[in-house]
Amino acid sequence: MKIIDGHVFLGKTVYVEQSPGDVLSNMDRLGVDASVVVAPPPGPFYDEANEYVREACGVNPGRLLPLYRANPLLEGMVDKVDGALSEQGFRGVKLSPTHDGYGVGGPRTDPVIEKARDNGAPVFIHSGDSIFCPPEYVASLASRFEDVNFVTSMSRRAPRAAEGKENLYLMTRSFPTLAFQRGYASDLDIDRLVFVSDAPLGSLEVELKGAELAGLTEDAEEKIMGGNLLRILKK
């Protein structure tokens, strides 16, 4: 079974600091095969941070898989997203409305999502209880763009918002261990859960332990720990 950490921050900001060596060391220590890495917030500008991610992934192909962090408020972003996905090896796009201060959906974000669609790439969106991007907004996008795969944060309202949206995937952090242990994980679609640590804001070791203690079936474990994500990542 291939284990993929589906969302890891790579780079340095006032929020976090993590180098490629840090990520790879944790992966080797804990038996993780690959990590999807993205520049951390805050923005609003991410050109240098995206280049840092691209270079790190170029040195570690197959182990570090890059997402392109886009801020759709900036001029020229649609062309940058297209180039990142079609020429620079990025495997998907990351949008963070809360951090960059825009509402998801509409004339700014739609063209970026359309470019992801044109390149067969998933769109990762940070969501939660913020007015900028509650999970219901991401679910609305998934309904409007049925040929785009979306990955968004787990939250109290996210499973219900994702119901019936076959192209909307939920991150597992914090891993819903008790839901599986106590048999009330029926609201969670096993085919649309993606294991993530959000390291270094989260802990890879803690999330792996949560998955271990959840008592997953072999089929569920294979899907959640990497299979679901591999199915949607841009090749």
The DSSP call for residue 77 is: H
Partners of 168 in beta bridges: 150
Q: What is the pLDDT of residues 206-230, one digit of tens each?
A: 999 999 999 999 999 999 999 999 9
At 116, the pLDDT band (50, 70, 90 cuts) reads very high
In which element (H, E) is residue 13 found? none
Q: Are 231 and 197 a contacting pair, CB within 8 Å?
A: no
At 12, the pLDDT band (50, 70, 90 cuts) reads very high
Q: What angle separates helix 109-118 from helix 77-86, to the nearest 10 degrees? A: 20
Identity of the amino acid at 54? R
Identity of the amino acid at 75? E
pLDDT tops 80 at residue 201: yes
- Assigned fold of 4-232: TIM Barrel (3.20.20)
Give me the mean pLDDT over the 3-7 stretch: 98
| Rounded CA separation 186/95 (Å) | 29
**Domain residues of the chain, as ranges?**
4-232
Give me the mean pLDDT over the 172-181 stretch: 95
The DSSP call for residue 194 is: E
pLDDT at 184: 87
CA distances (Å), origin 231, targets 110, 132, 197: 23, 29, 19
Q: Are 225 and 218 a contacting pair, CB within 8 Å?
A: no
Closest among 199, 207, 211 to 23, alpha carbons compared: 199
Token look-up 């297209």 returns 82
Give me the mean pLDDT over the 138-167 stretch: 95
Report percent pLDDT > 90 for the chain: 87
Give me the mean pLDDT over the 127-137 stretch: 86
pLDDT at 74: 96
Residue spans of beta strands (DSSP E) within the chain: 4-9, 11-12, 17-18, 34-38, 64-69, 92-95, 123-125, 150-152, 168-171, 193-194
Classified as helix, coil or strand, 34 is strand
Say what the pTM is.
0.96
Averaged pLDDT score across all residues of the chain: 95
For residue 122, is the peptide bond before it cis, meaning its omega torsion is within 30 degrees of 0?
no
Least confident of 81-85, 110-114, 132-136: 132-136
pLDDT at 209: 98
pLDDT tops 90 at residue 235: no
| Rounded CA separation 45/31 (Å) | 34
